[in-house]
A and B are shown apart, each in its own frame.
Chain A
Amino acid sequence: MENGFLSIVLHAHLPYVRHPEHDSFFEENWLFEAITECYIPLIAVLDRLHKDKVEYRLTLSLSPPLITLLRDELLIERYLTYLNKRIELAEKEILRTQDQPGYQSLANYYLLFFQNTLDTYQCRYQCDLLSAFKKHHTAGKLELITSAATHGFLPALSVSETAVRNQVNIGIETFKANLGFAPSGFWLPECAYYPGLESVLADAGIAYFFVDTHAILDASEPPRSGVYAPLDCGNGVAAFGRDPESSRQVWSSKEGYPGDYDYREYYSDIGFDLDLDYIAPYILDGKTRINTGIKYHRVTGEGKPKAIYQPNVALAKAKQHAQDFIDKRQQQISQLSASMDWPPIIIAPYDAELFGHWWFEGPAWLEQVLRLASDAAYGVQTVSCGDYLKLQATHPIATPSASTWGDEGYSSYWINEENDWIYPYLHQAEDEMEKLATDLHGLAVSPLQERALNQAARSLLLAQASDWPFILKSGTTRDYAGKRITDHLARFNYLHDSIRKNNINERYLLALETMDNIFPDIDFRDFNPAIKPSE
Chain B
Amino acid sequence: MTISKSEISASKSISATELLMISQEISRKFSPVVSVKSSGLARRIALTPKELRDISEEITRKYVPTLKSKTSNVVVLPIDPENLYVFWNLGQAETTPGLVDNTKDIVLRIYPKPEEFPSTSIAEAWVDVDLDQTKTRQKVPFPKGQQACSYTAAIGLRDEDNRLTTLATSKAVHTPRGITAMHTASENKTLSTNCAQFSSNQDRLQNINKSASGQSAK
Which of A74-99 touch B at CB < 8 Å? Answer: 74, 76-77, 80-81, 84, 87-88, 91
Residues of B within 8 A of A414 (CB): 214
Q: With an 8 A cutoff between CB atoms, is A30 at the interface?
A: yes
Q: Given A122-B31, A411-B79, A470–B59 Cβ distance below 8 Å?
A: no
Quote the shortest CB–CB distance from A135 to chain B (angstroms). Answer: 14
Number of interface residues of B (CB under 8 A): 87
Q: Given A11-B213, A409-B216, A517-B42, A251–B191 Cβ distance below 8 Å?
A: yes
Report the separation of the CA atoms of residues A283 and B206 in the bound assembly, to the nearest whole angstrom: 13
Contact with B along A5-24 (1 / 0, CB 8 A): 00000010111000011110
Q: Determine whether the beta carbon of B209 is less than 8 Å from that of A214.
A: no
Q: With an 8 A cutoff between CB atoms, is A515 at the interface?
A: yes
Quote the shortest CB–CB distance from A73 to chain B (angstroms). Answer: 6
Residues of A within 8 A of B59 (CB): 487, 490-491, 494, 508, 512
Sampled A-B contacts (15; CB under 8 Å): A22-B49, A80-B31, A127-B31, A127-B33, A128-B36, A357-B208, A401-B178, A403-B181, A405-B214, A406-B214, A411-B77, A424-B89, A424-B136, A427-B75, A511-B51
Q: Determine whether the beta carbon of A477 is less than 8 Å from that of B55.
A: no
Contact with B along A418-452 (1 / 0, CB 8 A): 00110111011100000000000000000000000
Report the separation of the CA atoms of residues A80 and B36 in the bound assembly, to the nearest whole angstrom: 17
CB contact between B56 and one of A30, A409, A477, A487 (< 8 Å): that residue:
A487
Which of B167-218 touch A at CB < 8 Å? Answer: 171, 174-181, 184-185, 188-189, 191-192, 194-201, 204-218
Q: Determine whether the beta carbon of B205 is less than 8 Å from that of A476.
A: yes
Q: Determine whether the beta carbon of B174 is less than 8 Å from that of A508.
A: no
A-B contact count (CB 8 A): 300
Quote the shortest CB–CB distance from A29 to chain B (angstroms). Answer: 6
Q: With an 8 A cutoff between CB atoms, is B12 at the interface?
A: no
Q: With an 8 A cutoff between CB atoms, is B163 at the interface?
A: no
Among A188-196, A332-340, A377-385, the one that faces the other chain is: A188-196
Residues of B within 8 A of A406 (CB): 213-216
Report the separation of the CA atoms of residues A408 and B67 in the bound assembly, to the nearest whole angstrom: 31
Report the separation of the CA atoms of residues A203 and B178 in the bound assembly, to the nearest whole angstrom: 28
Contact with A along B71-91 (1 / 0, CB 8 A): 000010111110101010100
Q: With an 8 A cutoff between CB atoms, is A258 at the interface?
A: yes
CB contact between A411 and one of B60, B80, B87, B178 (< 8 Å): that residue:
B80
Report the separation of the CA atoms of residues A91 and B28 in the bound assembly, to the nearest whole angstrom: 17
Quote the shortest CB–CB distance from A172 to chain B (angstroms). Answer: 17
Q: Tell me the interface secondary structure of chain A in the complex.
A: helix
Which among B38, B60, B62, B210 has the highest number of chain A CB atoms within 10 Å?
B210
Q: Determine whether the beta carbon of A80 is less than 8 Å from that of B191.
A: no
Residues of A within 8 A of B49 (CB): 20-23
Residues of B within 8 A of A88 (CB): 20, 24
Q: Given A253-B194, A401-B176, A477–B206 Cβ distance below 8 Å?
A: yes
Residues of A within 8 A of B27 (CB): 80, 84, 118, 122
Q: Given A252-B217, A410-B80, A507–B24 Cβ distance below 8 Å?
A: no
Quote the shortest CB–CB distance from A426 to chain B (angstroms). Answer: 9
Q: Given A80-B27, A81-B28, A126-B32, A253–B197 Cβ distance below 8 Å?
A: yes
Q: With an 8 A cutoff between CB atoms, is B37 at the interface?
A: yes
Q: Determine whether the beta carbon of A514 is less than 8 Å from that of B214.
A: no
CB contact between B137 and one of A13, A213, A424, A517 (< 8 Å): that residue:
A424
Quote the shortest CB–CB distance from B31 to chain A (angstroms). Answer: 5
Q: Determine whether the beta carbon of A407 is less than 8 Å from that of B214.
A: yes
Report the separation of the CA atoms of residues A510 and B62 in the bound assembly, to the nearest whole angstrom: 18
Q: With an 8 A cutoff between CB atoms, is A392 at the interface?
A: no
Q: Given A267-B199, A514-B47, A415–B77 Cβ distance below 8 Å?
A: yes
Residues of B within 8 A of A423 (CB): 75, 77, 87, 137
Q: With an 8 A cutoff between CB atoms, is A497 at the interface?
A: yes
CB contact between B207 and one of A33, A118, A195, A429 (< 8 Å): that residue:
A33
Residues of A within 8 A of B67 (CB): 424-425, 428
Q: With an 8 A cutoff between CB atoms, is B3 at the interface?
A: no
Quote the shortest CB–CB distance from A194 to chain B (angstroms). Answer: 6
Q: Determine whether the beta carbon of A351 is less than 8 Å from that of B215.
A: yes
Q: Determine whether the beta carbon of A420 is less than 8 Å from that of B194.
A: no
Residues of A within 8 A of B206 (CB): 290, 476-477
Residues of A within 8 A of B50 (CB): 21
Residues of A within 8 A of B14 (CB): none
Which of B126-149 touch A at CB < 8 Å? Answer: 136-137, 139
Q: With an 8 A cutoff between CB atoms, is A143 at the interface?
A: no
Which of B64-117 touch A at CB < 8 Å? Answer: 64-65, 67-69, 75, 77-81, 83, 85, 87, 89
Residues of B within 8 A of A299 (CB): 198
Contact with A along B8-50 (1 / 0, CB 8 A): 0000000001001000100110011110111111101111011
Q: With an 8 A cutoff between CB atoms, is B125 at the interface?
A: no
Contact with B along A468-511 (1 / 0, CB 8 A): 00110010110000010011011101100100000000011011
Quote the shortest CB–CB distance from B114 to chain A (angstroms). Answer: 14
Report the separation of the CA atoms of residues A283 and B13 in the bound assembly, to the nearest whole angstrom: 33
Q: With an 8 A cutoff between CB atoms, is A291 at the interface?
A: yes
Residues of B within 8 A of A411 (CB): 77-80
List the 10 closest pairs (A to B, CB-CB), nearest first.
A251-B217, A21-B52, A520-B39, A214-B181, A128-B34, A410-B80, A476-B209, A259-B198, A406-B214, A244-B218
What residue in chain A is nearest B16 (Cβ atoms)?
A91
Q: Given A252-B195, A267-B204, A507-B47, A410–B62 Cβ distance below 8 Å?
A: no
Q: Determine whether the beta carbon of A408 is less than 8 Å from that of B80.
A: yes
What residue in chain A is nearest B61 (Cβ atoms)?
A490
Quote the shortest CB–CB distance from B57 to chain A (angstroms). Answer: 9
Q: With an 8 A cutoff between CB atoms, is A412 at the interface?
A: yes
Q: Given A401-B178, A405-B215, A467-B212, A214–B184 Cβ distance below 8 Å?
A: yes
Report the separation of the CA atoms of residues A291 and B171 in the bound assembly, to the nearest whole angstrom: 46
Q: With an 8 A cutoff between CB atoms, is A402 at the interface?
A: yes
Contact with B along A189-216 (1 / 0, CB 8 A): 0100011100000000000000011100
CB contact between A410 and one of B31, B56, B181 (< 8 Å): that residue:
B181
Quote the shortest CB–CB distance from B16 to chain A (angstroms). Answer: 8
